[in-house]
Each structure stands twice: as structure tokens, then as C-alpha cells.
Amino acid sequence: MKFTPEFESGVLIKRYKRFLADIKLSNGQEITIHCPNTGSMKNCLFPGEKVWFSTSDNPKRKYAHTWELMQTDQQHLIGINTGRANALAEEAIKQQVIAELQGYDTLKREVKYGNENSRIDILLTSQNRAECYIEIKSCTLLEEQIGYFPDSVTTRGQKHLRELMHMVTLGHRAVLLFVVQHSGITHVQPARHIDPQYADLLQQAVASGVEVLAYKTELSPQGSFISIPCKVIV
């Protein structure tokens, strides 16, 4: 996925009110940008370090700039914009990068499904194959080289696991795909120390037939793309 134009950079001052961040540009100007990440962003905030942002030409937006990347004090890159994960996954599936998801004829986004008023991130279909329901999560929390999800308690994420399990009972294929947006993460596991109920549900989901995949993302201000699989420990 190429970014046109490529992202501009600044230095992080602070994140606040959940959806806002102040940064300083190279000319000394301070601006406020939109933070498109609703999580706690634990271990993802490094004041004084470099950030990159995109700019929208939509005149109706209150904040024209969107926070995209963060450089850590260890020089790792983090994808801050969780909304990019779905687009990265869609691109990777269409380009046959994710081996486990190859061979389907059609890809649809945001299709209603389940019994808890949900929409699936990606639905893959093919003649003579079970429908494949894919829920996508962005993983950015790094602790001792381990990528953890979630970074805060997520009742929404718990609901998605229940929905995936329900799809399996109906004879469909159900997949939880972690898009790893932190260059320091080597493998992924549920954050039991943060959301034990999610960790329990994930184990239950795997036992019921839900597949769990994780793939690393190569991140840069010029473009990002999904590359290689990561180990998942449930």
C-alpha cells in the first residue's frame, strides 16, 4: 500500500482526550492532529520521538491531519492508525500474500452477520467452499518482544469472538487475523493480564474451530504492506 503523498513528520508532544495529539514540526510550529486509535496505546506513546501523519483535503474535517506512525525510543515503528489494518489485510488477501486465505473468488467488506448485530471485516466466498468470515485486529502492544492483544479491556472484541464461534456452528469458516503493526513484535498472544475474559474466550474459540492467524506489517512513511506470518500462542 503506497501512500500518496507520503506522510509528513514531526515530534510527539502529547496525546490527550483520546482522539487528539499535539506535535511539533521541523519549523517549530505546533499543531493538533487526529489520533485514530481508540485503545489505551499502552507502550506506544513516546513524547519527543518522531511521528508521521497524513493530510486530508476534506474541508469539512475539523483536524486535517491524521496520526499514522510512531517511532519508539528503540527505533521501532508502530502503526498508530488502526483503520489501516483492514485495508492492509484486504490488499494482502487480493495479492495472495496470506497463504491460508488464498483461492477465494470474491471479497466483501462490512457484511452483516451473526446474532449480536455485527458486521464482519472481510467475507470471502467461492463456489463449493464454505464461506470464510474474517475478523481483523491491529496488534501494537509490545512487552518483552511479545505482541499482546488487546491493550485494554474490549467488550467489542469479546463479542466478535462469540460471533466467530457462532459462524463455525453454522458450518462456515471463521478466522481471527492479527495485523501486527509494530516492528519489534515477533509473536502474538492474548493479553490475559489486561483482559482475562478475552483470553478465555480466545481459547474457547480456538477449541471450537476458529482459526487464528498473525502477519507482520512492513511499515514506512512511503507505504506499508503485510509480509510474513507470526507465531500465535493461545
Whether the per-residue pLDDT at 145 is higher than 90: the answer is no
- Summarize the confidence of residues 175-182 as an average pLDDT: 98
Helices assigned H by DSSP within 53-153: 84-94
Domains of the chain: 8-79 (2.40.50.580), 82-232 (3.40.1350.60)
Name the maximum alpha-carbon separation found in the chain.
Answer: 60
Q: Rounded CA gap, 68 and 221, in Å?
A: 8
- What does the pLDDT average to over 82-88? 95
Burial code (b: 16+ CB inside 10 Å, e: under 16) for 29-64 equals eeeebbbebebebbbbbbeeebbbbbeeeeeeeebe
Q: pTM of whole model > 0.75? A: yes
What lies within 8 Å, CB to CB, of 33 at 6+ separation is 20, 21, 22, 23, 53, 63, 65, 66, 67
* Cα–Cα distance for residue pair 209/73, rounded to 1 Å: 40
Q: In three state form, how does the secondary structure of 92-112 look?
A: HHHCCCCHHHCCCCEEEEEEE
167 three-class SS: helix
**Residue 39 predicted with pLDDT over 90:** no
For residues 160 and 145, give the distance between their C-alpha atoms in angstroms, rounded to a whole number. 26
pLDDT mean over 33-53: 92
Q: Report pLDDT for 137.
A: 97
Segment 117-126 shows an average pLDDT of: 96
